[in-house]
A and B are shown apart, each in its own frame.
Chain A
Amino acid sequence: MSLMTGSGGELLQVDNLGKRFGGFVALENISLSVAPGERLGLIGPNGSGKSTLVNCICGTLRNEQGSVHFDGRRLDGLLAHQRTHLGLARSFQLPRPFVSLSLIDNIRIPLLYTVAARGHGRAAHDVEARCSGLLREVGLEAKARQRPRDLTQVEMRKLELARAMASEPKLLIADEAMAGLTHSEIEDILALLVRLNEQGVTIILIEHIMRAVMSFSRRLVVLVSGRKIADGAPTDVMRDPEVERAYLGQ
């Protein structure tokens, strides 16, 4: 997978991003950058704006202020599906599977619409193999022909992740993919993400499970009440007094 980057060398560049909902300021002056191949952790208390930030980056929401650059391209005005075609993928915090399709068809969609759109047309059996492979990686191959309603919450999160992976992204944003998983399941997902990263996929991990975030991230960004309050090496960030305050409470 090519790691083409634009000027400045950053894969993702967020500058002064701001988002309001009526009178409520959800995000204020968010700036961050992600280098190609990086493993970034994004943490913050509930309601701090993490998912809103993801939505703005991916085009599900429109930010009023600031800009987002991906792979050297300015993303303003691009629809969500166009950003996915460029190589941006995300999983949803609350899983949003396609309920009337089987699991394997769920995985097929990004392959049909994103990968194919990039011109890497594949033969049908190849697509089928790829879908099965992705389901295998998250341990859902046995349920390939079943529908999402037959899945547990945990399995739905894995499907969510697999579907994001299916679009063969350059940057994958995993939004709380590990909530509710057992210890070994967390290890599995972490190993999966590490493997992906080694193949060249840049990853932003949004999580509450500190153990996972600390072991996975090379860099940590902390969001509190719509503002970025820390950005640096994980151990440094966790020693930051402001971060301590945000997490241990006032």
Chain B
Amino acid sequence: MRAPGFLLICLLVAAAIFAAALAVGNDYVFFAGYVVLQYVVLSTAWNILGGYCGYVNFGTAAFFALGAYSTVAIYKLITENDFYRMPIPVLMLVGGVVSGVIGLGMGYLTLRLRGAFFSIATLALAVVLETLVVNWDYVGGSRGAYIIRPEAIEPIGNYIRYLFLMMLLLAVAALTIARLIEHSRLGYGFATIRDDELAAEASGVPTLRLKLIATTISGALMGMAGAPFPYYIGFLQPDSTFALDYAVNSIAMPLIGGTTSWVGPLIGALLLGSLQQIITVTISSAVNLLIVGCLLVLFVIVAPNGIVGLVHTYLQRKPDEFVGRRRVDADAPGTVP
């Protein structure tokens, strides 16, 4: 299936989802759905660097927060004084650019090293960024920042529905980008980096350049996911924004769903995201995190190729490593269209 066709189908599905949500008539659907969609974007973004290239990013929260705090800064700068509210798509772009640039910079510093050092550096980045924000009073510091969420926006009405719609579109964009990468020369290059970087270099793959591209795209998408967050939550606190929950979720969802294609993070985010909404409401958020952690460890040990891998194995009836690859080929052991 060519990219425009895929995009069209995604948009149709998105339209159907939005219509269904409207039909339910309960705003809670939008509140909860927003979070799940947010995780679709974060998991897909993480997977571009993690699943495709094999570089683990523990600092999802940092990139997410950069997007969120860019919005806060703009809000303080413009909206509070002039009452001009920057539209969400523009905020997303700003958040994306900021996060993308930081991702590029950090990648440039650390991607020439082994993967383990990169991963540790991403942990460090999250903490350094959090410390900087906590000490920066302009965006509220440790006390937090209030963002006034407008009541409504025409023609959609309720502002939360507008946010949901924006995140829905961003999710479509993220999935399309992921799929585009997979089926392109870039996707092949990423796979070689994951499999054997030395051999990739010897074959002529410019590994550093590709890794930087992956980090930038991944970081930018995470920033875009974070940009509308202040409007969603109304009160932004460093504690909750930089929480490790984002890291564990954006890692668990692709690993549980399956890392080799765009389908995995989507499945992981939908399943795990929905599960978490249910558990948080019925039991507690701490138990919720415990379950995510346990599922992560379990899947990583028992089902390394995730749910997609399990389905594939079941269909193939023989143990096989899933290779979600490019062409639809009659001989190939199963590809994702």
* A residues lining the B interface (CB < 8 Å): 58-60, 79-82, 84-85, 89-90, 92, 96-102, 105, 108-110, 112-114, 116-117, 145, 147, 149, 163-164, 166-167
**B198 is an interface residue with CB less than 8 A from chain A:** yes
Determine the chain A residues whose CB is within 8 A of the CB of B283 once the complex forms: none
Interface residues on B, range: 20 to 34
Q: Give the distance in Å from the alpha carbon of A17 to the alpha carbon of B40 in the complex.
A: 52
CB <8 Å contact, B260 and A79: no
Taking A81-B205, A90-B202, A99-B321 as given, write out 14 further A-B residue pairs in contact, using a Cβ cutoff of 8 Å, ordered by the A residue number.
A80-B198, A81-B202, A81-B206, A98-B192, A98-B199, A100-B321, A101-B325, A102-B325, A102-B332, A112-B189, A116-B185, A145-B332, A147-B323, A167-B203
**B201 is an interface residue with CB less than 8 A from chain A:** yes
CB <8 Å contact, B323 and A84: no
CB <8 Å contact, B188 and A80: no
Given A98-B195, A100-B195, A147-B321, A109 and B202 touching (CB < 8 A)? no
CB within 8 Å: A-B pair count = 98
13 A-B pairs with CB atoms under 8 Å apart are A80-B202, A81-B201, A81-B203, A84-B201, A84-B202, A98-B191, A98-B196, A99-B321, A100-B195, A101-B195, A113-B203, A114-B203, A164-B202
Q: Give the distance in Å from the alpha carbon of A99 to the alpha carbon of B199 in the complex.
A: 11
Given A84-B203, A84-B204, A109 and B188 touching (CB < 8 A)? yes
A-B pairs with the 10 shortest C-beta distances? A114-B204, A80-B201, A96-B199, A84-B204, A98-B195, A113-B204, A110-B203, A145-B331, A81-B201, A113-B205
Chain B residue with the shortest CB-CB distance to A118: B204
Give min CB distance, A177 to chain B, whole Å. 14
CB <8 Å contact, B204 and A101: no
**B329 is an interface residue with CB less than 8 A from chain A:** yes
| B12-68 interface with A by 8 A CB criterion | none
CB <8 Å contact, B260 and A60: no
Q: Give the distance in Å from the alpha carbon of A69 to the alpha carbon of B260 in the complex.
A: 40
Chain B residue with the shortest CB-CB distance to A88: B202
Determine the chain B residues whose CB is within 8 A of the CB of A79 once the complex forms: 201, 206, 208
**B207 is an interface residue with CB less than 8 A from chain A:** yes
Q: Give the distance in Å from the alpha carbon of A90 to the alpha carbon of B203 in the complex.
A: 9
| B307-337 interface with A by 8 A CB criterion | 321, 323, 325-326, 329, 331-333
Determine the chain A residues whose CB is within 8 A of the CB of B200 once the complex forms: 81, 98, 109
Q: Give the distance in Å from the alpha carbon of A149 to the alpha carbon of B188 in the complex.
A: 18
From B201, B205, B208, B323, contact of A101 by CB (8 A)? B323
**B194 is an interface residue with CB less than 8 A from chain A:** yes
From A81, A89, A96, A101, contact of B191 by CB (8 A)? A101
CB <8 Å contact, B325 and A85: no
Determine the chain A residues whose CB is within 8 A of the CB of B202 once the complex forms: 58, 60, 80-81, 84, 89-90, 92, 164
Given A60-B201, A100-B194, A117-B204, A112 and B185 touching (CB < 8 A)? yes
Q: Give the distance in Å from the alpha carbon of A147 to the alpha carbon of B332 in the complex.
A: 10
Most central of A100, A101, A108 by chain B CB within 10 Å = A100
Determine the chain B residues whose CB is within 8 A of the CB of A147 once the complex forms: 321, 323
CB <8 Å contact, A109 and B205: yes
Give min CB distance, B48 to chain A, whole Å. 16
| B168-196 interface with A by 8 A CB criterion | 185, 188-189, 191-192, 194-196
